[in-house]
Amino acid sequence: MKVLISPSILACDMLKVGREMKRAEESGADWLHADVMDGVYVPNISFGFDFIKAAKSAASIPVDVHMMTVCPQKYIKELKACGADSVTIHHDIAPESDIIKALWEIKNEGMRAAIALRPKFPAEDIKPYLPYIDMALVMTVEPGFGGQKFMSDMLPKIAAIREMSPDVDIQVDGGINQETASLCAEAGANVFVVGTASFRAPDMKEAIDKIRLSAGKYEVE
């Protein structure tokens, strides 16, 4: 699986968003990662559709939106309109049938669809959704806040999902840096959301290059 690096917008300098998105792209980022938080599903509140639209307009790389919200299915058309290329929803916000319907709607709008698992949920919870998703997100911290410590006990979950589905992208988010990216890649992850270790690194391009090199040791063609 190709290694993809996705800097998290939450870690950028919010006073210079346009410049920061360009800096990420020029530093070699493959995607931009946008966490939408509603203050209900998670205790924090982040940003909305206008912000995503602005970020999308500042760079030419895909925008991957992680909906940490209780009713993401209400906003699929709005996400498409603001430029989202990929949408991730959490499986525990609605019954299975409703989640599958939302995934279909995301794909019908021409976006990639993904399911996220919080740390407390096992790998097996992803099984019903594998036929409908392009990516599985394994949260390696509790969702809602940046700068948390990587949870190494999530590595077996990554490996279990990779065993279930050799072809699905597996994304990891939380505490990702050069060292933890290598561990996650060895377990089977190939998409790395990087916050503090990218935007707040002394040299963003060097940081992204090192993470890509570290994870790329386990890249499979």
Structure tokens at 27: 């530093």
Active site residues: 35, 173
Instruction: Using DSSP, state whether 38 is helix, strand or coil.
Output: strand
Can you tell me the distance from the alpha carbon of 210 to that of 41, in angstroms, rounded to the nearest whole number?
A: 34
E-strand stretches of the chain: 4-7, 32-37, 63-68, 86-90, 112-117, 135-139, 169-173, 191-194
> Would you give the DSSP letter of residue 198?
H
Amino acid at 54: A
> Are the beta carbons of 214 and 185 closer than 8 angstroms?
yes
